[in-house]
Chains A and B, each alone.
Chain A
Amino acid sequence: MAEDADVISEGGQGPDGAKLGPDELKVRLLEAQSLAEERLDLLKRCRADLDNVIKRSAREKEENVKYASEKLIGKLLPALDSLEQAAKHDEGAKVLYMQLLDILKTEGLVPMDEVGKKFDPYRHEALFQVKSKELDEDTVAEVIQKGYLLNSHVIRFCKVAVAKR
């Protein structure tokens, strides 16, 4: 305790450092060195963090540009579903549906045609199973809601019924 008090008061006087004995100077040097190391370590961590954030944000920016239209097109899909249903009843709606689909196709939207394909959890979401004699087990028997790809990346999984023998 007494030593601590001494060090503090001498430190406060500044140039009095000369009065310190070699042992105390050694202690101080070690303290300063460990503090310097600790700070260097923190600095390195900060630099590494910054470096990684820069790299990551560049990557994210690239992805954002690539899928910029994804959010909007995703929101339009329910309207596309409605038009697809309407097309079954009405010739005008059918033309409208085709027109909208064609426009979205130019943005990279591709409807998935999956009936008869093997069930794949990276493309399909199984809603229920149906008994079938013609179809192989675990193939798509019926599409309940059409799935879509945007620039070969699934933006809506195809909701399907899966065949069961």
Chain B
Amino acid sequence: MSKIIGIDLGTSNSAAAVLVGGRPTIIPSAEGTSIGGKAFPSYVAYTKEGQVLVGEPAKRQSVTNPEGTITGIKRKMGTDYKVRVHGKEYTPEEVSAQILRKIKTDAETYLADTVDKAVITVPAYFNDNQRQATKDAGTIAGLEVVRIINEPTAAALAFGLDKVGEHKIMVFDLGGGTLDVTIMEIGEGVFEVQSTSGDTQLGGRDMDERLMEFVLEKFKQESGIDLRRDSMAMQRLREAVEVAKIELSSVLQTNLNLPYITADASGPKHLSMTLTRAKLEELIHDVLQRCHGPMIQALKDSKLEKAEVGKIILVGGPTRMPVVQEFVKSFMGKEIERGVDPMECVAMGAAIQAGVLGGEVKDLLLLDVTPLSLGIETLGGVTTRLIERNTTIPTRKSQVFTTAADNQTSVEVNVLQGERPMSKDNVTLGRFTLVGIPPAPRGIPQVEVTFDIDANGIIHVSAKDLATKKEQRITITAPHKLSQDEINSKVKDAERFAADDLKRKEEIEVRNAADSLLYASEKMLKEAGDVATKEQKEKIEKAIADLKNAQTGGEISEIKAKTEALQNSIYELSSAMYQKAAQEQQAQQQSSQQSSGPQQDQSAGQSGPTVDADYEVVNDKK
């Protein structure tokens, strides 16, 4: 069952994707990923030796073989133009076929299967000739082109905009060297192009040039040296500027450091400057201004007002820059769609279309996810998550919990939904009690709690005492269907209160730790017998009393300090006990009788796991 792949055959870069497990996945280029991502440059080269190179290797040799290197062949598709290389003629279809053949090979390596069908994207303004030429290129490459779709349509598919009813969208596609603006109407799964506009000489490369010029001029002012004449320095600078530009998408300022960039009579020179996002914005301001025209034109041609455009999608690498996003947003007066990589969305949308045509995308296969995390309440009112949000269902997860008090014979399971760490801030979906646990010291019983969500979103929660095999369960049917807005607000709440919640959770953890330590210490004192000296015992008793006092006082820092104090005095005692045990073991080595030492060690060791609050189930019914 070979798959149909989706191909974004671009002017400057190309990429391909395929549905894997119902999700579009970019097919990596055999040469590995470059700085721009998984796409590769749309370069084809015919060498003097008769070799054909495609992608990165073709680009790297372009300077040595300008007559044999072809770029931007997409602009010639559907024309009678012929490329003459080393005395041979090639049609644009044949050149494009080389790019498609490379994609076919990469896809076959990636999927470990033959690939002979594809969906290929073209610009919305391509005419029938150009579309036919693209189809023919596929045939030459050994690919049956099952459909040609428009690039903006593919982008909209990748963002899932075909599923949200009838509306109008704008696709702003800013590539390395071209800008395409498309306005489309979507309804009932039909995409209709209303208007297109653009600029074939405008793109990210202009912006890179501006930044480079600025750095060169500034260095010239400061040092009097023009780096343009130093190719080694230019190479280092170009790479550093590219890294800085990418960094400025996530931070407000970055440093450009190139020590020993060059030298003159007075000695070595260093380049060190700070670049801010504000400066970058200023530098590319006029490039951005040129994007206004095509947007206004596209709106005018579609006879729409800005307000009538419901959704905006950004496509192309340069639109990753916050300044470009901000520019489009403020012009249209509307938030832009997010969530899909702008460099990859066209190929991904083509892969989705391919999946539909191949019968792979069906309702049955659309797996759901749990919108919010699920868990149970544990000691101190803390939510312990068993299933994280966005887990694909059906799913199942178990975790073993224990009791919080001695001789606790029942546990209550409070099933919670939400992102907040404290139970009271989350929603209780249901609760039940598991009774009949045999009396035992805290931390000994093992209660396995299992969450099982079936394909319909129905949650089954069970708690099982592993000793008696007694079990209780609850089924929560369609717990209160949340709307997307409700989900978003809950997730936002969790982010908003993250700091407060963390503090409260820490407080509970301190209290739980104090509680566990008190329990373990008292137990140890009882068992220590004559190993502990009177002073040691008194010291521990005092530390215990102090900690209990602090607990009633309720001051967290105080509880923490006293817990540590008690811990230290316990360590003294336990090391004394270990020593004594070791001595006894030595003394009694000949006799078969084992000292009581190891047993005591064990009891001291056992208190370890109960310190961990996460492993204790709340008990309010004994």
Q: Does A pair with B?
A: yes
A contact residues vs B (CB 8 Å cutoff): 39, 42, 44-46, 48-50, 52-53, 55-56, 78, 81-82, 85-86, 88-89, 119, 121-122, 124-129, 138, 144-145, 157, 159, 161-162
Interface contact A49-B21, CB-CB below 8 Å: yes
B contact residues vs A (CB 8 Å cutoff): 1, 20-21, 45, 53, 57-64, 110-113, 231-232, 235-236, 239-240, 257-261, 263, 267-268, 360, 362, 364-365
Please name 11 pairs of A and B residues whose Cβ atoms are closer than 8 Å in the assembled complex, sorted by A. Answer: A46-B365, A55-B112, A78-B239, A85-B268, A88-B263, A89-B267, A121-B61, A122-B57, A127-B231, A145-B236, A162-B64
Q: A86-B268, A145-B235 are in contact. Are A52 and B61 (CB under 8 A)?
A: no
CB-CB under 8 A from A50, the residues of chain B are: 21
CB-CB under 8 A from B259, the residues of chain A are: 82, 85-86
**A129 touches which of B64, B236, B263 (Cβ 8 Å):** B64
Q: A121-B58, A126-B60 are in contact. Are A39 and B364 (CB under 8 A)?
A: yes
* Separation of A157 and B362 alpha carbons in the complex (Å): 45
Interface contact A89-B260, CB-CB below 8 Å: yes
Q: How far is the CB of A160 from chain B (nearest CB, A)?
A: 9
CB-CB under 8 A from B58, the residues of chain A are: 121
* Separation of A98 and B105 alpha carbons in the complex (Å): 42
Interface contact A46-B21, CB-CB below 8 Å: yes
Interface contact B63-A162, CB-CB below 8 Å: yes
- Known pairs A82-B259, A119-B64; list 20 more (Cβ under 8 Å): A45-B360, A49-B20, A52-B20, A52-B113, A53-B21, A56-B112, A78-B236, A78-B240, A85-B260, A86-B259, A89-B263, A121-B53, A121-B57, A124-B61, A125-B59, A125-B60, A129-B63, A144-B235, A145-B236, A161-B231
Q: How far is the CB of B26 from chain A (nearest CB, A)?
A: 13
* Separation of A42 and B355 alpha carbons in the complex (Å): 12
Closest B residue to A85 by beta carbon equals B260
CB-CB under 8 A from A138, the residues of chain B are: 64
Interface contact B64-A85, CB-CB below 8 Å: no
Interface contact A157-B260, CB-CB below 8 Å: no
Q: What 10 pairs between A and B have smallest CB-CB spacing?
A: A85-B260, A121-B57, A121-B61, A126-B63, A125-B60, A82-B259, A126-B64, A162-B64, A121-B60, A86-B260
**B365 touches which of A42, A121, A126, A162 (Cβ 8 Å):** A42
Closest B residue to A55 by beta carbon equals B112
CB-CB under 8 A from B110, the residues of chain A are: 56
Interface contact B20-A159, CB-CB below 8 Å: no
CB-CB under 8 A from A82, the residues of chain B are: 257-260
CB-CB under 8 A from B360, the residues of chain A are: 45
Interface contact A126-B260, CB-CB below 8 Å: no
Interface contact A127-B235, CB-CB below 8 Å: yes
CB-CB under 8 A from B21, the residues of chain A are: 46, 49-50, 53
Q: How far is the CB of B181 from chain A (nearest CB, A)?
A: 34
Q: How far is the CB of B305 from chain A (nearest CB, A)?
A: 45
Of the candidates B21, B64, B113, B263, the one having the most CB atoms from chain A within 10 angstroms of its own CB is B64
Of the candidates B1, B60, B61, the one having the most CB atoms from chain A within 10 angstroms of its own CB is B60
* Separation of A50 and B367 alpha carbons in the complex (Å): 14
* Separation of A140 and B563 alpha carbons in the complex (Å): 70
* Separation of A89 and B262 alpha carbons in the complex (Å): 11
Q: How far is the CB of B61 from chain A (nearest CB, A)?
A: 4
Of the candidates B236, B258, B365, the one having the most CB atoms from chain A within 10 angstroms of its own CB is B236
Q: A46-B21, A53-B20, A78-B236 are in contact. Are A119 and B61 (CB under 8 A)?
A: yes
Of the candidates A82, A86, A121, the one having the most CB atoms from chain B within 10 angstroms of its own CB is A121
CB-CB under 8 A from B111, the residues of chain A are: 52
Of the candidates A39, A85, A127, A157, the one having the most CB atoms from chain B within 10 angstroms of its own CB is A85
Q: How far is the CB of A42 from chain B (nearest CB, A)?
A: 6
**B236 touches which of A81, A89, A126, A161 (Cβ 8 Å):** A81
Closest A residue to B367 by beta carbon equals A46
* Separation of A88 and B269 alpha carbons in the complex (Å): 12
